[in-house]
Amino acid sequence: MNSAIIVAAGKGKRMNKDINKQYIKLMDKEIIYYTISAFDNNTNINEIIVVISKDEEEYFKSNILNKYKFSKNIKIAYGGKERQDSVYNGLKLLSDNSEIVLIHDGARPFISDNIINDVIRETKDKKAVVVGVPVKDTIKIVDENEYVKDTPHRNLLWSVQTPQSFHVNIIKEAYNNAYKDNYYGTDDSMIVERYGYKVKMLFGSYENIKITTGEDLYIGEEILRRR
């Protein structure tokens, strides 16, 4: 059984909007609608858990779940203080027979069916998989005074996206160990890496953007028009 956890509890302060960025509309539909739909329409996904802010539960039910009538049953988990806490709350709601879990940003609405299928296929063998794209720009490492310390080779650098996918027992073990060690990572694969698991990188898509700033809304609308 394959599960998806969609993390949509962040406030998105960089968007400078009065509402959670997940509920901003692109082409008359909310960002989170497109994200959920991608997993709802995928035949290899068996359950979906959406992690939201507790104080937005009624809004989410009224304006998303009741409005769009997704075909799969959507479970709701509450967000925590940090993203890691939110994901952990989602992991707790996984069905007992879930074998693979894909963890995805709610603000990445343009994930494709093909990428979801590729991730699931690779996770069956590799056990821990992330998607990303090679960086286009030269990256500089700077010190605390903003002087350049190093320029890593660009051909070794990838910009990591979601979904990040794992065998359920592996991600749960890594998360439990992280909390025992009071360790917080910046993404899920970082936590898995810390406890000795190798993570396979798959090529994602340059369209699989995360809606973070107002400029991203214009890019998102153009992606939808092209599709």
> What tens digit of pLDDT does each residue of 69-83 get?
899 999 999 999 999
Residues 93-99 have a mean pLDDT of 97
Q: What is the CATH number of the domain that holds 27?
A: 3.90.550.10
- Environment class of 39 (CB within 10 Å of its CB; exposed 0-12, middle 13-18, buried 19+): buried
Give the chain's radius of gyration (CA, Å): 18
Q: How many residues does the chain have?
A: 227
Query: Which residue type occupies 73?
Result: N
pLDDT band per the 50, 70, 90 thresholds, residue 227 = confident
CA distance 52 to 10: 8
Q: Which one, of 160, 186, 191, 161, lies nearest residue 176 by Cα? A: 191
Q: Of all residues in the chain, what percent carry a pLDDT higher than 90?
A: 89
Q: Which backbone phi and psi does 78 adopt, to 5 degrees?
A: -95, 145
Residue with the two structure tokens 């960002």? 31
Number of domains the chain is built from? 1
According to the model, what pLDDT value does residue 21 have? 85
Quote the crossing angle between the two packed helices 83-91 and 168-180, to the nearest 10°: 130
- Domain residues for the domain of 9 are 2-226
| pTM: predicted TM-score of the whole model, two decimal places | 0.93
Q: Identify the pLDDT of residue 17.
A: 58
Nearest alpha carbon to residue 45 among 20, 74, 87, 15: 74
Q: How far apart are CA 44 and CA 117, in angstroms?
A: 7
Per-residue tokens: 212:
């973070």
Q: Residue 74, Cα to own-chain centre: how many angstroms?
A: 16
The pair of structure tokens assigned to 23 is 């509920």
In angstroms, the CA 205 to CA 209 distance is: 8
CA geometry: angle at 84 spanning 79 and 87, to 5°? 55
CA-to-CA dists, residue 188 to 33, 37, 85, angstroms: 23, 23, 11
Q: What percent of the chain has pLDDT over 70?
A: 96
For residues 186-192, average pLDDT = 95
Contact 85, 78 (CB under 8 A): no
Per-residue pLDDT at 195 exceeds 70: yes
Structure letter (DSSP) for residue 215: H
